[in-house]
Structure 1
Amino acid sequence: MSIEMDNLHPADGQNLASNLSNDQNNESYKLSENNDSKQDIVIEKKDYESFGFDVLIDEAKNLLNKYPVNQIRNHIEQIKDVFRQKIEHDENLKKEAFLADGGDVLDFKYENSYKSKFAMVYNDYKHQISIYHKENEKQEKANLVERLAIIDELKALYTEQNESNTQMFKSFRDLKTRWHNAGRIPASNAENVFKNYFFHLDNFYKYLDMNKELQSLDYQHNLEVRYSIIKRAEELVAEENVQKALNELQYLHRLWKEEAVPVIEEKREETWQLFKSLTNKIHDRKAILNERIKNEQNSNYEKKLEIINKIKEIASTANKKSHVELQKAIKEINDLRDSFLTVGRVPKDKNNKTWDAFKEATREFNHIKNDFYKTLKNEQQDNLKKKLALLEIAKEHKDSRDWNNSVKVIKKIQNDWKNIGHVPRKNSDKIWKEFKETCNQFFDRYKNRQNEFNEQFEQNLVLKTDLLNEFKTIQLPENKEEALNLLTSLNSKWNEIGKLPSNKTEINQEFTKLYNEKLKSLQLSQHQIQDFKLQTLIDQIISNKDSRTLDEEIRKTKKVIEDLEKEINQLDNNVSFFANADANSPLLKDVYKQIEEKRAKLTDAEVKLRTLYSVEF
């Protein structure tokens, strides 16, 4: 006879069938991947509060890549909450530092590159969970069809009675196994379907009571199942992963109810008491684990209270410190803050209270620090006057032709500028930009005094003209790989030549046009052309160490991804309006075609973005 059991995973990784006795008429126990009782995967619990931004993002990525998306919700949401708290805390620290430096609250802008990176990972999670729910809905409908078919077959089994007792018993066990493995069905159908099943199951058992041979077969089979469950429970007592053991134990209890009843009366209580005692042993281990976690969290609570008290102690004397002493106190506070975030979890009922006390203590210190530095505004105003004076000197020498004298003056005032100190932030960027531009104007004139660069640009023009003329006469090899290598080589030579006179840059456009025509003549697929151009771009960026172009390409690619995701979401919403439409509707087909095309473009853009992120100089 064939019996299927879903998700019965022994601690040693072996299938339960290997633990059954050899006298079970070659019964085979199989794992069902679609059963609604499928055992949850045990995911290691981590102290996310102790992780930095980059580690939190890596943890979220690892969860998405390693585990089924329906199993990671709690962990992803925990990471999201911790990430949000850390962002808020980081923003508050930077805002307070900005204000302490003389900035206006209206001018404060908070930027954190990790925010967009985490948003991409979290959006990927939401996209995957959405797909999972859609596929799960389809599976539930298929499961409903299967369960209704089982009910019809079960009804026919005792009403038509066309089989021998042995064959009928085998058919009955097969039906029960199929029902056990059928999986979830839509909630709206569940009550009626299950009532109907158990109604006919009860009728079959009444028929079974009247047929002693069938009843005996059923008792024997169920007893064998009980012994196999007990043996597995004995192994779970020694399972190192307590949570895994508890998850599987829950499944074993369900299996006991569904597959291991009834049995002969003299074995009924004996086997149940044995299974119950093993259950208690496993739950005792859970209690020990909980006690250990409780002790660890209480210890963490004491450590965090100690850190909070140290912060309060430093804050209480901060207003009496000098600038140097206060800088030292700031470092101590930052070290204590990092220690607080790495301590670990505290009891749940104390978590919010502890976090509020920590924020209040650091906030009090920051208030004192801010008040201290506000008194430095007069000094910053003096620094502003000094820098304005240096700016006037730079303007006086900007158009000078006394090269030897003026270059010494400009270099000296640049060095003096660095040593003056801070000015009010609202003036800092503006005055620095003006001073820098003024100095640069002088040095541009100083550097061009012998027209060295102009001569080099003219030489570059000659080299590029010669290379362009050579390119026009070149016949690409018939071998596409050789042709692509040749194009890559020519493009590299072109980029290596360097800049041109500002009024002669049109030759670059001429080269690009010819390059694209040659590339098109190879009759490559659009995908191949995209790959080649991307690789050419990356080679160019790496060769020139051109971080500016790399950043711009990343920004544009992100914008493309964002726009495509919005368009796909809109098209998905549009599909919902065709709920009752004919599947052959041209309009509906067009929408699905658009979705498919945009998803393909989205995939290409995501590949490009990952490739760009991997570029290293």
Structure 2
Amino acid sequence: MNTEMDNLHNADGEQQSQPVSTNDNSTESYKTEETVNQEKVSDISFKDYETFSFDVLINEAKNLLGKHSVQEIREHFNQIRDAFKQKLEVDEAEKKEAFVNEGGDEVDFKYETTYRAKFNAVYNDFKHQLTAFYKENEKKESDNLDERLAIIDQLKALYQEPGETSSAMFKKFRELKTRWHNAGRIPSKNAENIFKNYFFHLDNFYTYLDMNKELQTLDYAHNLEVRHSIINRAEELIKETNVQKALNELQYLHRLWKEEAVPVQEDLREPTWQKFKELTNKIHERKGELNEKIKLEQKDNLEKKNEIIKNIKEIAAKAASKSHGDWQKAIKDINTLREQFIGLGRVPKDKNAATWDAFKEVTREFNHIKNDFYKTLKTEQQGNLEKKLALLDVAKQHTESTDWNNSVQVIKRIQNDWKNIGHVPRKNSDKIWKEFKDTCNQFFDRYKNRHEQDNQKLEVNFENKQAFLEEFKTTEISENKDEALKQLEELHATWASLGKVPADKLAINQEFTNLYNDKLSALNLSKAEMSDYKLQSFVNKIKADGNDRLLDDEIRKTRKSIDELEKEINQLDNNVHFFSNANADSPLLKDVYRQIDEKRNKLTEAEIKLKTLFNINFND
């Protein structure tokens, strides 16, 4: 008896095995049945990967890798990889355009995205798993080859060296067929010869079986039992809610029919085959149910996608007059709509291209309006940047200032001005703000510690004055009057240059003044000499300090003193007339004349002083 070749490799996608003749008409009928799937249909549906965002593509790849065997998702990963690469190119082009539009130089543009690393991590995991699968598969195929060769040897021995009872032989034969059915793929280079060899010995065994009616009866009974179990399962598949699952399992049942349910008693062959064929047709009729469901889903997806396109149009139409904050919200809304659009499934095939083109068009229009807005905003932001840079320069000018009252007001004012200026280009924003904040903080840190710093300085001044005073006590003053005056003036100037001391230690200044006056008195200067010395000392101090304000104040005071002296002298002259009849030796009259002489002397000194002050030349 001849039988058909095992089509296990066909079921796995190979084209190696070919059918041979058989006298089992149920098998012949099966070969002409066009409705039976010859290859397994995958449960994993392909999607419009090119419409997915980066995040969705990465998550889709992760889900496929986590839920399915790596060999089932090879083509899915290839399509996802191509879609991801295309999206990277588009995203890079858009970001480069935006960078150039914001004033950047194209040669300075660097495309950076975290999505590339995230996807590469998933894709590399896929490749590693695929490599491991191939290695493991090679080993399995080699083991399967050994198993099939052993089965062939045992099948050949079964009919060439019969030595067992019919029931024992039949049991061993069924076990060999089951082992062959479950043995799995073998290397393709060995497949043709191995299968030909198996079917050759299988035909020989069936020839032997024809001569052994007891064995044939046992085989017919077993095969009929298998047929009934297949038919029962096919009846259950008619009620299966998942149509695709029913179709996939039906394919397996047909392969099982060919390999495990042949042959049967002649009068039962056709009836059982027709029953199975009838159930097969009923299951295939459910394809229409599946297709109708798919059509309804695609129609619903089309309506939802058209609604999303409409919403994007409306947002784009209202976007032109929006503020920056409104634009940020609009961009977020558009991204949400985009994710919703991408997350929806397929639409009818004849509408797919038009729907996708419409989606790209409305998003492109929105991006165009957005780019125009931010180009205008860029000009404003550049102006804001220049204003903030000017404020930063002002802050830097006051960083080391000790004019505390004035600088505090300036810093507070420019801080308030900074808040009112508005946004600057993003690439400058963080940097300039940090520099401005640090500069202001540097001033305010000094401002808060100003008293501590001043106190420290005053303590240093006190220590220096203590040392100078001790030295001054032992300083020998020249016996030459002119040299002595010059020496004392220099010592007084040095003392003044040592600065202020703490308030609780001001007594040291009086101590110096007393010592200074003692040394000055020791020179026995006349009143005129003393006056000239003090005036000249004052002039020298003004010149040394270059203090115009001090000079102006002294001129104002001297003028006021002259005016007051002139008024007082005039008043005393008038008082003299009251004493016209008085005796010249009158004490009261003498006192008036004394006062007049004193004030006239002071007036003369004040006029000389004023003239001297006016003649001061800071360039000498």
User: Fold-level match, TM-score > 0.5?
Assistant: yes
Q: For residue 159 of structure 1, what is the amino acid of its counterpart?
A: Q
Question: 2:141 maps to what in 1?
Answer: 140
Question: 2:397 maps to what in 1?
Answer: 396
Q: Give a deviation string over 1:474-512, Cα, whole Å, max 9, x none.
A: xxxxxxxxxxxxxxxxxxxxxxxxxxxxxxxxxxxxxxx
Report deviation, 1:188.
Answer: 0.7
After the TM superposition, which residues 139-538 of structure 1 pair with which residues of structure 2 at under 5 Å, given as runs? 139-309=140-310, 311-312=312-313, 321=321, 323=323, 327=327, 333-334=334-335, 336-348=337-349, 350-402=351-403, 406=407, 409-424=410-425, 428=429, 431-432=432-433, 434-439=435-440, 441-442=442-443, 445=446
Counterpart CA distance in 2 for 1:358 and 1:162 is 77
Q: What SS does structure 2 have at the residue aligned with 1:262?
A: coil
Counterpart CA distance in 1 for 2:264 and 2:375 is 84
Report deviation, 1:360.
Answer: 2.9
Counterpart CA distance in 2 for 1:404 and 1:89 is 57
Contact 2:144–2:184 (CA under 8 A) maintained in structure 1: yes
Q: For residue 113 of structure 1, what is the amino acid of its counterpart?
A: T
Q: For residue 362 of structure 1, what is the amino acid of its counterpart?
A: T
Q: What SS does structure 2 have at the residue aligned with 1:239?
A: coil
Counterpart CA distance in 1 for 2:451 and 2:198 is 97
Distance verdict in 2 for CA 1:116–1:404, change over 3 Å: farther
Report deviation, 1:118.
Answer: 3.0
Deviating more after overlay: 364-373 vs 123-132: 364-373
Distance verdict in 2 for CA 1:416–1:90, change over 3 Å: farther
Report deviation, 1:242.
Answer: 2.4
Q: What SS does structure 2 have at the residue aligned with 1:253?
A: helix
Counterpart CA distance in 2 for 1:234 and 1:450 is 98
Distance verdict in 2 for CA 1:127–1:378, change over 3 Å: closer
Q: For residue 338 of structure 2, what is the amino acid of its counterpart?
A: R
Distance verdict in 2 for CA 1:194–1:301, change over 3 Å: same
Deviating more after overlay: 109-118 vs 291-300: 109-118
Q: What SS does structure 1 have at the residue aligned with 2:347?
A: coil
Question: 1:520 maps to what in 2?
Answer: none
Counterpart CA distance in 2 for 1:314 and 1:96 is 23
Q: For residue 344 of structure 2, what is the amino acid of its counterpart?
A: V
After the TM superposition, which residues 466-615 of structure 1 pair with which residues of structure 2 at under 5 Å, given as runs? none
Counterpart CA distance in 2 for 1:408 and 1:40 is 80
Question: 2:70 maps to what in 1?
Answer: 69
Deviating more after overlay: 205-214 vs 371-380: 371-380
Counterpart CA distance in 2 for 1:95 and 1:312 is 25
Contact 1:155–1:200 (CA under 8 A) maintained in structure 2: yes
Q: For residue 145 of structure 1, what is the amino acid of its counterpart?
A: D
Distance verdict in 2 for CA 1:437–1:375, change over 3 Å: same
Counterpart CA distance in 2 for 1:403 and 1:58 is 60
Between Structure 1 and Structure 2, whose CA radius of gyration is higher? 2
Question: 2:528 maps to what in 1?
Answer: none
Counterpart CA distance in 2 for 1:84 and 1:334 is 20
Distance verdict in 2 for CA 1:68–1:448, change over 3 Å: farther
Q: For residue 154 of structure 2, what is the amino acid of its counterpart?
A: E
Distance verdict in 2 for CA 1:298–1:38, change over 3 Å: closer
Report deviation, 1:273.
Answer: 1.4
Contact 2:224–2:261 (CA under 8 A) maintained in structure 1: yes
Distance verdict in 2 for CA 1:338–1:405, change over 3 Å: farther
Q: For residue 167 of structure 2, what is the amino acid of its counterpart?
A: T
Contact 1:51–1:342 (CA under 8 A) maintained in structure 2: yes
Contact 2:47–2:345 (CA under 8 A) maintained in structure 1: no
Report deviation, 1:177.
Answer: 1.0
Counterpart CA distance in 1 for 2:152 and 2:444 is 90
Q: For residue 158 of structure 1, what is the amino acid of its counterpart?
A: Y
Q: Give a deviation string over 1:277-329, Cα, whole Å, max 9, x none.
A: 2222222223312221122113323433444355456657866x465798376
Q: What SS does structure 2 have at the residue aligned with 1:246?
A: helix
Counterpart CA distance in 2 for 1:447 and 1:275 is 96
Question: 2:569 maps to what in 1?
Answer: none
After the TM superposition, which residues 12-91 of structure 1 pair with which residues of structure 2 at under 5 Å, given as runs? 42=43, 57=58, 60-77=61-78, 80=81
Contact 2:99–2:109 (CA under 8 A) maintained in structure 1: yes
Contact 1:104–1:426 (CA under 8 A) maintained in structure 2: no
Q: For residue 265 of structure 2, what is the amino acid of its counterpart?
A: I
Counterpart CA distance in 2 for 1:379 and 1:55 is 36
Contact 2:223–2:263 (CA under 8 A) maintained in structure 1: yes
Counterpart CA distance in 2 for 1:339 and 1:215 is 64
Distance verdict in 2 for CA 1:149–1:298, change over 3 Å: same
Contact 1:103–1:426 (CA under 8 A) maintained in structure 2: no
* Aligned residue-pair number: 416
Counterpart CA distance in 1 for 2:339 and 2:83 is 14
Q: Give a deviation string over 1:401-422, Cα, whole Å, max 9, x none.
A: 4556645644543443243123
Counterpart CA distance in 2 for 1:225 and 1:210 is 23
Contact 1:397–1:442 (CA under 8 A) maintained in structure 2: yes
Report deviation, 1:75.
Answer: 5.0
Ranges in structure 1 where 5+ consecutive residues have no aligned partner? 1-6, 8-36, 453-617
Contact 2:250–2:280 (CA under 8 A) maintained in structure 1: yes
Distance verdict in 2 for CA 1:137–1:403, change over 3 Å: farther
Report deviation, 1:42.
Answer: 4.8
Q: Give a deviation string over 1:355-404, Cα, whole Å, max 9, x none.
A: 34322332233223323443445433432331121011111122224556
Counterpart CA distance in 1 for 2:121 and 2:448 is 46
Q: For residue 116 of structure 1, what is the amino acid of its counterpart?
A: A
Deviating more after overlay: 286-295 vs 361-370: 361-370
Distance verdict in 2 for CA 1:59–1:368, change over 3 Å: closer
Q: What SS does structure 1 have at the residue aligned with 2:424?
A: coil
Contact 2:53–2:342 (CA under 8 A) maintained in structure 1: no
Contact 1:103–1:424 (CA under 8 A) maintained in structure 2: no
Counterpart CA distance in 2 for 1:447 and 1:144 is 88
Counterpart CA distance in 2 for 1:445 and 1:275 is 96
Report % sequence identity: 71
Distance verdict in 2 for CA 1:90–1:337, change over 3 Å: farther
Q: For residue 146 of structure 1, what is the amino acid of its counterpart?
A: E
Question: 2:125 maps to what in 1?
Answer: 124
Q: For residue 71 of structure 2, what is the amino acid of its counterpart?
A: N
Distance verdict in 2 for CA 1:39–1:81, change over 3 Å: same
- CA-atom RMSD in angstroms: 3.9
Q: What SS does structure 1 have at the residue aligned with 2:163?
A: coil
Report deviation, 1:233.
Answer: 1.5
Q: Give a deviation string over 1:53-78, Cα, whole Å, max 9, x none.
A: 55654554454444433334355456
Question: 1:564 maps to what in 2?
Answer: none
